[in-house]
Structure 1
Amino acid sequence: MGELKFLSLQGISRIKELPRSIGMLKKLVVLDLKDCYNLEELSEDISSLTKLRYLDISNCYLLGKMPKELSALSELQVFKGFIIGDPQRKNLGTLEDLKRLKMLKKLTIIATRNDFPTPEDLGTFLELEALQNLTIAWGVQPKDAEAGKSSKLGPSLHGKSTESSGRELTEKLNLKKLDLQCFPYSTPTWLTPDILPKLEKLYIRGGNFTTLKKGTWNVKALRLKYLSGMKTNWRELKESFPGLDYLERVKCPGITLCPCDENGVWQKPKT
């Protein structure tokens, strides 16, 4: 199968690991492992897939760590399901290992630590110059016993790390789309229009998020869902998002006076 370019094992729940021979598929461009619920480990031989452009390991809930060898996938453009785990665990791949992926355009992260992103993490995002689409989901913990004991999730981390993150990040991110899910703290100081001047789509779903930093955003599409603590109104949103074309507001009782339809959607009238 040396000429194979596309391999999808999506949804095959009995797969626990990939064979080492996966590294022999030198021409593989797409590897889809989404929904392989019992996959426990990614072989380090994945580093041999140097032509890989698309890797999806999302919804693989037993994966407790990432191999550091992922840094060898220099042509990777889309990576879904990268796990941010406990930095104290040995031989654990970290976000910093992705710095060499200069072609990475889309990244989906599962964060099992509430202190993510740290100042170091934000610095890594700056080095991923091609990155335009970033999704971060917090609070999904691996079912690995060792990881479960060592992961430090808790309200004591809320806000503390974000203050230092905001002070230390002064450069601008190139992101055009940012999707934050189950946000663990209320007001991240790094989420500002000055740091994200190119952002066109901002989605915030669930969690403890309450406040967006004031400023003038260039965002055109804004989706706010299941944010029980966020309080604002239509006038304030229009002041912060003057170029808004699309708003979706779902189960956000504190966001008031928005001219949304029965589905919680407002769209700018066409002229």
Structure 2
Amino acid sequence: MLINLWIAQGFIKPADKNGCLEDIANDYFMELLWRSFFQEAQTDELGDIDKCKMHDFMHDLAIEVSGSSFTTFDSENKPFDESKTHHVAIGDHIDSLSAVTMLFSKASMSLTEETLIAIFSSLKLLRTLDLHCTGIDVVPGSVSKSKHLRYLDLSGNSKIKKLPDSITRLQNLHTLRLRFCKQLEELPRDIKKFINLRHLEIDGCDCLTCMPRGLGQLTNLMTLSVFVVNSGGGGAGNSGGLDELNGLNSLREKLEIRGLVHGKDVASGYKAVNLKDKQHIHTLELKWTYKMGETEVDDEMQLEGLKPHSNLKKLSLEKFRGVRFPNNWLLSLTNLVSVRLESCKKLTYLPSLSQLTSLNSLTLMELDDLEYIEDSNMVSSSSSTPIAYFPSLKEMQFNRCPKLKGWCRRMDSLAKMMVTWMEDYPLLPSFPLLSKLTFEDCPMLTSIPTFPHLERLHLFSASWKPLQQTMMMNVASSPTPLSELKSLALTTIKDLRSLPEEGLRNLISIQYLSIDCCYRLETLFRGIQHLTALQTLGLLYCDELDLGKEDDWMQEQGLKSLHTLTIEGLPKLVSLPEGLRSLTSLQYLSINSCKRLETLSRGIKHLIALQTLKLRCCDELDLGKDDHWMQGKGLRASTL
């Protein structure tokens, strides 16, 4: 956005006719960043800078140098020199600003159609106009009077349904931002008249049903965040097909193609997209539509026509109907950093994703037929050290994969396939950099590799067995599995009855533990005393868990770092264990919806660090003498 504003104001000059303004501006930005004009740069997962701040001193200096050329004009109607003012941020009032070239409106303020007409009629020298989130529902035809306009931002105005045809007279327009104009139904029909348009941002315009014919003639276009394929609905007469993308080889950054269809005759249309020549696109999202009752077609061969350039870094496929990927389609994308596969219901076989050595994020969602991640052997009984597997992977997420059993299968005989079990091979492949892992609704999962550097793990509606196996493993390498785990959330684990003491010894780094809706959990056992780094513990809706019988481990003084304890929905809890007194660092205690809780333990009076005590929906609780003690500590409890 910043770079496009510089270009709109004419600050960037090409060194020659073939010079790319965006590249020159980016070089300027990096130079300023290196010189600390900009600071605290933050990057996205692809390494691109998406946030930064200006050094305070440089900001003050810029304000001083700009003098009267920049002003904020609001309801106080401050006087200013109209002949010198070129950059204005408006508040609630607009007057004569004929010399202004850059105008920013305060986000969330509401602009009427009359105000917009006044802007376009009066500010004929405007180059930059930012009207995002200003409650606009109609863009007046007089917008065409701002003939010098190069940058127009209408993002976040969710009531706009259509842009006036006259807007295409803005032949100097360089950037048009329409992000999250959620009711926008169509783009201008004569869009080809935007001969200088380089950036068209339409993320979040969910009501668009097609793209206008002639879009492909905008050969200078560098940003086209979304392309909507017409599936035969409204606007068919003026809509362009996938071939509109054929010559747009200057496109950069992200491209989402939405509305792809399943069928036998779509391969030629897919090929017309010419993705293989779009070397500057780093993020590609391909989304198919699926209509109930349509003929099932294997999309494998059709996908071949949508093969992207090998420079691609981020890939997302949604509702792809192939059983497998075409040969080498995915593995040829050697620069991939992120892969997301969602609602690919028929996908049964994945290529060997571990060969994507740059991959750091993998998300698999709603893959109904997938049983294994790898289809080949991924262990070696002869190796003396674990195999490095997914060498760059940092984050992995599996959601609603109902048939997922494990990580690989190997050929045991020509007729029999079997899972590789952990106990058969003590040296399983490890994920050397994986730090975040989520399993959600994967009930058939029986085995997982080791994660020596895992920091965050969430198990939701899955089996306890594979995690228990990992916790109990003793491998020759260091660190041991889960020894660097800092956060563990267990939700709706139906076969969890207890936490193994021996396994908990390995969790030496864990700081956050949440056990939620594990209805068969009966005991935490003494092993929890080994969690000496634990700071936050949540025990919620575990029907069989009775903390009143867990006195032994609490008296061991192991939870010396615990400062937050949440207890909720434990129907068997009648009294708190006396060992609670050992939690000398506890600052926050919340007890909610424990219907049978009758009394707090005497040990609670010894919680010298306690600052907050919350008691809610504990119908049988009688505070009795504890009420006087609580008042003395300045604590308040609600038993509603």
Change (3 A) 1:164 1:137: closer
**2:457 counterpart of 1:262:** yes
1:1-271 correspondence runs (5 A): 1-86=146-231, 89-105=236-252, 106-115=254-263, 118-122=267-271, 124-139=274-289, 156-159=295-298, 161-163=299-301, 165-166=303-304, 173-189=310-326, 192-208=329-345, 209-214=347-352, 216-229=355-368, 230-232=370-372, 242-253=390-401, 254=404, 256-257=447-448, 259=451, 261-263=456-458
- RCO greater where, 1 or 2, for CA within 8 Å and sep 6 or more? 1
Task: In structure 2, give the amino acid aligned to 1:101.
Answer: L
Say if 1:240 and 1:40 are closer, same or farther in 2 by CA, change over 3 A. Answer: farther
Distance 1:247 1:6, change over 3 A: same
State the one-letter code of the partner of 1:223.
Answer: L
SS at match of 1:183: coil
Q: What percentage of aligned pairs have identical amino acids?
A: 23
Q: After alignment, is 216-225 or 95-104 more displaced?
A: 216-225
Q: Secondary structure, in 3 states, of the residue corresponding to 1:44?
A: coil
CA contact (8 A) 1:114 1:153 kept: no
Deviation of residue 155 (structure 1)? 5.7
Distance 1:95 1:171, change over 3 A: closer
Range moving further from structure 2, 119-128 or 28-37: 119-128
- What is the alpha-carbon distance in structure 2 between the residues aligned to residue 104 and residue 24 of structure 1? 23
Whole-angstrom distance in 1 between the partners of 2:388 and 2:319: 23
* Residue range with higher mean Cα deviation, 187-196 or 235-244: 235-244
SS of 2:245's partner is helix
1:189-226 CA distance string (max 9 Å, x none): 26634542333322223342443124733442232142
SS of 1:156 mapped into structure 2: coil
1:140-198 deviation line (CA, Å, top 9, x unaligned) = 8xxxxxxxxxxx66563441x423544x7899644222122343444232663454233
The structure whose Rg is larger is 2
Aligned mates of 2:458, 2:266 — CA distance in 1 = 33
CA distance in 2, matches of 1:187, 1:250: 18
Could you say if the C-alpha distance between residues 184 and 202 of structure 1 is closer, same or farther in structure 2, counting changes exceeding 3 Å? same
Distance 1:22 1:171, change over 3 A: closer
More displaced, 47-56 or 213-222? Answer: 213-222
Gaps of 5+ in 1: 141-151
User: 1:170, 1:180 → 2: CA distance?
Assistant: 12
CA–CA distance in structure 2, aligned partners of residues 181 and 171 of structure 1: 16
TM-score by length of 1: 0.74
Gaps of 5+ in 2: 1-145, 380-385, 407-446, 460-483, 485-640
- Residue aligning to 1:147: none
Aligned length: 252
Specify whether residues 107 and 199 from structure 1 end up closer, same or farther in structure 2 by C-alpha distance, changes over 3 A only.
Answer: same
The separation in 2 between residues aligned to 1:249 and 1:236, in whole angstroms, is 20
In structure 2, the CA distance between the partners of 1:172 and 1:74, relative to structure 1 (3 Å rule), is closer
